[in-house]
Structure 1
Amino acid sequence: MKNRQQELPEDFYIPIPLDTNNITSLSPFLVPQDHLGGRGVFMCMAVFTFFLFVCGTSINVLTIVCTIQYKKLRSHLNYILVNLAVSNLLVSTVGTFTASVSFFNRYFIFGPTACKIEGFVATLGGIVSLWSLSVVAFERWLVICKPVGNFSFKGTHAIIGCAVTWFFSLLASAPPLFGWSRYIPEGLQCSCGPDWYTTDNKYNNESYVMFLFCFCFGFPLTVIIFCYSQLLFTLKSAAKAQADSASTQKAEKEVTKMVVVMVLGFLVCWFPYTSFSLWVIFNRGQTFDMRMGSIPACFAKSSTVYNPIIYVFMNKQFRSCMMKLIFCGKNPFGDDEDASTSSQVTQVSSVGPEK
């Protein structure tokens, strides 16, 4: 049987040349990774990831509790927002928390097995989040743009939408556990993710990263852009037909702002991570600062905070209920519970030009 010293190199990768004959002595599971960055860098990352953990966990727990507490929030169109909160909570409590503790200690203290688990769970939650965002866009396109006529969106459709996100996410995140790529420490070696560093034919890492890019970033982004562009076109047509209606014009402006924020939020969270991993793949042999490898991963983890702010807090019903829950039944901001961007948009589209 191989001993631990022989097995460790299979569980991590140090991409910079070092004057040592024993690469295992620099294992990110055994010793602080001070050769990759100063103590101050690790402490800054520890503070930032701890902030993401506290905020992401709090906001997403609040979303779930509000949905349980207030029956009015349990509408079919809100199922996917709860699904998004669950996936964000998974990333926050497992991925972001372990990263924060590891950055504080300057190495992944939980060991190689925990690294695989953390990498899998964080990747699973992240992909569920990505697919959930595309399902939100698709649902709104069906309900508002009516591409299949007077489509009646029911609870069964919402449950299917949630199930699809978990099915495809498991399909995409499980392969590294079975030999197609692998989960190893990334960046400053304090969080784990798919191996996009190496070209070892044993793991076929390049094909897996390309699969993730196309299936888990490119496809959801295409769905989001298509559905929201169609939504904007429908609203602009309705607003043009009702140029004298102040409420219609207001709804059109609100939804336009909402769509722009949603698309930008998606890109801010995920574009740095995907583009950096692709850069490494297509520029093999080029040296790069490992500190730069941790920044995109943290941007991706920050989606646990951005997503609920964009998708939940911009929903007036959710926001009103959250304020009541926090302030013991009172809403200091005075939002109208029954008014929401979604309902305004539906009204606008329903009186728009017939197809």
Structure 2
Amino acid sequence: MGIDSGVNVSDDVALYGGKSAFTQLEHNIVAGYLITAGVISLLSNIVVLLMFVKFKELRTATNFIIINLALTDIGVAGIGYPMSAASDIHGSWKFGYVGCQIYAALNIFFGMASIGLLTVVAIDRYLTICRPDLGQKMTMQSYNLLILAAWLNAVFWSSMPVVGWAGYAPDPTGATCTINWRQNDASFISYTMAVIAVNFVLPLAAMFYCYYNVSVTVKRYKANNCLDSINIDWSDQINVTKMSMVMIVMFLVAWSPYSMVCLWASFGDPKTIPTPMAIIAPLFAKSSTFYNPCIYVIANKKFRRAIIGMLRCQTRQRITINTQVPMTTSQQPLTQ
């Protein structure tokens, strides 16, 4: 795309509004993608929020985490996509230094919040299925504290480059801003390693532990034919767990290219990073904003029933919940 080998960008690209290393046609293609993805993401995530407003059966503690995830997607689609698309149409970053700092910080903020919230979902699945004794002790305040911790963690890491730990700057396309991985000094390397460790490796390790134990528990109960002895609505919890696992796998797919770029820049020469990777990595990182709503609907039958009810303009769509056994806090509607 305009450059045959690696990203060999002149210093002018780092200047706000400087000449881009890519052609205007390439910028227009990216802008078209961002506009399309942004519209789809905004509409689909707004539909998800409307589902929670309309159907009180969906307003559980677990699904409240999903609401927060939808808010992170709306944040990226409503703020990040338009600024980046406008700059691509312009051919270079058009919002100056302050706009670059705000744009990059918000994108990192929503990304860090997403992986934090997905970790909370994994913990919820573990407690609900593997440790129902502890899961029943979880209150709405407990869930609120976990969710708040995910947001505060995102605030910390997204604000550090603004105050001087690493930094934000236009990327090689010159039309969007991100962590300044082309200046791989000690500050950038230490920040990148800390972010990857705290917001990538540790969350994924926690998720793997939680879902591995969930898988083992499910297999054990199925083998012993004693699902009825578990104090949960098993069918519903399996659906929610499958949805959560798919979301995490897709999040890993979305953010892995960006992590690879940062690691490459930390331990190698940033100028040797292939051009396609420099372009695709940040686009992949944003892609979860529009496929998450699809995962909610495809992997969870309650969401499917709710969306069908909305499409049919039904005033009421009862979503059956098995009440033959007591429910944990994660299953109970928030209105109860």
Contact conserved, 1:323 with 1:330, CA < 8 A, in 2?
A: no
Code of the aligned partner of 1:88: D
Q: Output the CA distance in 2 between the equivalents of 1:54 and 1:167.
A: 28
- Equivalent positions of 1:152-231 (< 5 A) are 152-201=137-186, 204-231=187-214
Q: Output the CA distance in 2 between the equivalents of 1:258 and 1:70.
A: 19
**CA 252–78 in structure 1, closer or farther in 2 if over 3 Å, else same:** closer
Whether 1:81 and 2:73 are equivalent positions in the alignment is no
Q: Output the CA distance in 2 between the equivalents of 1:147 and 1:282.
A: 44
Whether 1:239 and 2:243 are equivalent positions in the alignment is no
User: What TM-score, normalized to structure 1?
Assistant: 0.79
Code of the aligned partner of 2:195: L
| 3-state DSSP of counterpart to 2:272 | coil
Q: Output the CA distance in 2 between the equivalents of 1:236 and 1:252.
A: 14
Gaps of 5+ in 2: 1-6, 329-336
Whether 1:274 and 2:252 are equivalent positions in the alignment is no
Code of the aligned partner of 2:205: T
- Equivalent positions of 1:1-355 (< 5 A) are 16=8, 18=10, 23=11, 29-33=16-20, 36-146=21-131, 149=134, 151-201=136-186, 204-242=187-225, 258=243, 261-284=246-269, 287-311=272-296, 313-329=298-314, 337-338=319-320
CA RMSD of aligned residues (A): 3.1
Contact conserved, 2:9 with 2:172, CA < 8 A, in 1?
A: no
User: What TM-score, normalized to structure 2?
Assistant: 0.83
Q: CA deviation at 1:290?
A: 3.8
Contact conserved, 1:128 with 1:169, CA < 8 A, in 2?
A: yes
Q: Output the CA distance in 2 between the equivalents of 1:37 and 1:165.
A: 37
Contact conserved, 2:181 with 2:266, CA < 8 A, in 1?
A: yes
Moved more, 130-139 or 57-66: 57-66
Q: CA deviation at 1:124?
A: 0.5
Q: Output the CA distance in 1 between the equivalents of 2:91 and 2:98.
A: 18
Q: Output the CA distance in 2 between the equivalents of 1:57 and 1:311.
A: 15
Q: Give CA deviations for 1:303-334 in whole Å, capped at 9, x if unaligned.
A: 11122322455222233223322331189xxx
How many residue pairs get aligned? The number is 316
Moved more, 322-331 or 47-56: 322-331
Q: Output the CA distance in 1 between the equivalents of 2:83 and 2:305.
A: 33
| 3-state DSSP of counterpart to 2:178 | strand
Contact conserved, 1:60 with 1:88, CA < 8 A, in 2?
A: yes
Code of the aligned partner of 2:282: A
Q: Output the CA distance in 2 between the equivalents of 1:255 and 1:104.
A: 40
Q: Output the CA distance in 2 between the equivalents of 1:38 and 1:17.
A: 13
Code of the aligned partner of 2:246: V
Moved more, 180-189 or 118-127: 180-189
% identical equivalent positions: 27
**CA 224–281 in structure 1, closer or farther in 2 if over 3 Å, else same:** same
Q: Which structure is richer in relative contact order (CA contacts within 8 A, separation 6 or more)?
A: 2
Q: CA deviation at 1:199?
A: 2.7
Partner residue of 1:4?
none
**CA 224–320 in structure 1, closer or farther in 2 if over 3 Å, else same:** same
Code of the aligned partner of 1:241: N
Code of the aligned partner of 1:46: A
Contact conserved, 1:317 with 1:336, CA < 8 A, in 2?
A: no
| 3-state DSSP of counterpart to 1:174 | helix
Q: Output the CA distance in 2 between the equivalents of 1:150 and 1:88.
A: 28
Q: Output the CA distance in 2 between the equivalents of 1:314 and 1:179.
A: 42
